[in-house]
Amino acid sequence: MGEPIIQVENLYKNYGAVEAVRGVSFAVEEGEVFGLLGPNGAGKTSTVEILEGLRTRDRGVARVCGLDPETSGERFKERIGAVLQSTALPDKLRVQEAIELFAEFYRRRADTNALLRRFQLDEKREAFYGQLSGGQKQRLALAMAMVNDPQVIFLDEPTAGLDPQVRREIYDIIEQFKREKKTVLLTTHYIEEAERLCDRVAIVDHGRVIALGTPRELKQRSAGTTRIEVRLARPLADGALGRLEGVADCREFDGQYVLHSTRPPQTIVALVKQLEAENNELQSLEMFSPSLEDVFIELTGRRLRE
């Protein structure tokens, strides 16, 4: 295999006393959809903005398409497309005007009319930006990121704040990029997004990569356990649920208990007996197969979206 299309080695970025990125390293192969998964404030956006050439790094290596984002200028910008965490255009700018304006920034340009059709904006070409729905604005941002037919596409929280139906539409677009063998680096704090879209994932927390691999490989860390989420009428004594049969790990988050059990049926029977003995009540109980959420809990002791 040749040089990775994105190479990050021991990357650091500080904002005054705040260490946003602390020794991040990963590589992305051409045609791969790679995800940076972590909570808000984990350092994902700072990492991506360095790779986009929008921020300078304090130290470390960052290369995209064999180029240094800080020093390669126009050569670099011609190779990438980006959807930032927030896209803001003038309300009175029309959809077609916006995409044609962005196309003028590049020597190599895609067919803007074809992009409008592809991103389901053909009927909105004369609409003002301020008249678009949230999903239409995000599709326009994706279309503008593709005006130069980029080799690498950066997507920073591409579905944040969108309703589930629009989120699924964006997933379909990213999966189309995947079929076209585009290289995509996306940041997200949505578990299902990373599991559905990404070939590999780096879990990021407090500016560091704490786990890296395919979703399947990462979930193998929790293989053999089931996550049981429980709400009770009254809290139990410290550690009581952790001593139930089959429970390998138990943590409490905002009044909800999260148990990882190797023997779910026995754990649930023991839980019911415990509650009966203490005259307590079960308000809710949900069971889940292992997910990247479980990996994050085991590594940090926190939930991904706390």
Whether 88 and 179 share a structural domain: yes
Whether 114 and 191 share a structural domain: yes
Per-residue pLDDT for 79 more than 60?
A: yes
Whether 62 and 92 share a structural domain: yes
Asked whether residue 241 is assigned to any structural domain, the reply reads yes
Per-residue pLDDT for 17 more than 80?
A: yes
Where is mean pLDDT largest: 143-147, 238-242, 290-294?
143-147
Q: By the 8 A CB rule, do 218 and 294 touch?
A: no
Q: What SS3 string covers 9-58?
A: EEEEEEECCEEEEEEEEEEECCCCEEEEECCCCCCHHHHHHHHCCCCCCC
**Residue whose structure tokens are 């790990």:** 249
Asked whether residue 64 is assigned to any structural domain, the reply reads yes
Segment among 63-72, 263-272, 296-305 with least mean pLDDT: 296-305
**Average of per-residue pLDDT across 221-226:** 83
Which pLDDT value is given to residue 306?
A: 55
CATH number for the domain that contains residue 254: 3.30.70.980
For residue 230, give Cα distances in angstroms to 7, 179, 275, 304. Answer: 42, 40, 12, 18
**Average of per-residue pLDDT across 154-178:** 92
Whether 32 and 125 share a structural domain: yes
Per-residue pLDDT for 54 more than 80?
A: yes
Asked whether residue 210 is assigned to any structural domain, the reply reads yes
Asked whether residue 299 is assigned to any structural domain, the reply reads no
Per-residue pLDDT for 303 more than 90?
A: no
Give all strands (DSSP E) within the chain, no chain letters.
Answer: 6-15, 18-28, 33-37, 59-64, 80-83, 152-156, 183-188, 200-205, 208-213, 226-232, 247-253, 256-261, 282-288
Asked whether residue 300 is assigned to any structural domain, the reply reads no
Asked whether residue 305 is assigned to any structural domain, the reply reads no
Whether 181 and 231 share a structural domain: no
Per-residue pLDDT for 305 more than 80?
A: no
Per-residue pLDDT for 98 more than 90?
A: yes
**Average of per-residue pLDDT across 197-214:** 96
**Average of per-residue pLDDT across 97-120:** 93
Asked whether residue 43 is assigned to any structural domain, the reply reads yes
Among candidate residues 219, 242, 272, the one where a domain is terminated: 219
Which pLDDT value is given to residue 1?
A: 56
Residues 113-133 have pLDDT tens digits of 999 999 999 999 999 999 999
Whether 98 and 17 share a structural domain: yes
Overall domain count for the chain: 2
Strand partners, 249: 260
Structure tokens at 160: 């944040």
Among candidate residues 159, 191, 219, the one where a domain is terminated: 219
Whether 151 and 90 share a structural domain: yes
Whether 260 and 207 share a structural domain: no
Whether 281 and 180 share a structural domain: no
Q: Average pLDDT over the chain, rounded to whole?
A: 92
Whether 85 and 166 share a structural domain: yes
Q: What is the pTM of this model?
A: 0.88
* Residue percentage of the chain with pLDDT more than 70: 99
**Average of per-residue pLDDT across 2-23:** 95
Domain encompassing residue 195:
6-219
Asked whether residue 70 is assigned to any structural domain, the reply reads yes
Per-residue pLDDT for 185 more than 60?
A: yes
Per-residue pLDDT for 92 more than 90?
A: yes
- Distance (Å, rounded) from C-alpha 54 to C-alpha 60? 16
- Distance (Å, rounded) from C-alpha 211 to C-alpha 63? 21
Whether 195 and 258 share a structural domain: no
Among candidate residues 180, 203, 219, the one where a domain is terminated: 219
Task: Indicate the pLDDT class of residue 293, thresholds 50, 70 and 90.
Answer: confident
